[in-house]
Amino acid sequence: EAGVVQSPRYKIIEKKQPVAFWCNPISGHNTLYWYLQNLGQGPELLIRYENEEAVDDSQLPKDRFSAERLKGVDSTLKIQPAELGDSAVYLCASSLGSPNTGELFFGEGSRLTVL
């Protein structure tokens, strides 16, 4: 069974440019998460979806970040315009149910470098 798939694995852009990340969760997983991981830090939640509904986006910087999960399956995370401080790894994860009902499965992440 395929795990959580993310693309691209690496992206280098100049500041003020847009960037988008894509995530395909494990088949059948209703809950999808986007996390931000800075170097040497633990993952921090950006947004959580239950099916196609964003149920927790309180930590998403909405002035430049947006996300969507059309049809409740795969998801995209967009940054426009990117800033130097956005350089980080963007992790996608999925789970069968809510966060306290079982394991979150993570993808390998998309590493963003903003120059």
Partner 1 sequence: GESVGLHLPTLSVQEGDNSIINCAYSNSASDYFIWYKQESGKGPQFIIDIRSNMDKRQGQRVTVLLNKTVKHLSLQIAATQPGDSAVYFCAVSGGADGLTFGKGTHLIIQP
What residues make contact with partner 1 under the rule CB under 8 A?
4, 33, 40-45, 48, 56, 91, 93, 98-100, 103-109
Residue with smaller CB distance to partner 1, 14 or 103: 103
- Three-class HEC string of the chain: CCCCEEECCEEEECCCCCEEEEEECCCCCCEEEEEEECCCCCCEEEEEEECCEEEECCCCCCCCEEEECHHHCCEEEEECCCCHHHCEEEEEEEECCCCCCCCCEECCCEEEEEC
Q: Considering beta carbons, is residue 38 or 80 the nearer one to partner 1?
A: 38
**Nearest distance from C-beta of residue 53 to partner 1, angstroms:** 13
Nearer to partner 1, 33 or 65 (CB): 33
Q: How far is the CB of 16 from partner 1 (least distance, A)?
A: 28
Q: Smallest distance from the beta carbon of 3 to partner 1, in angstroms?
A: 9
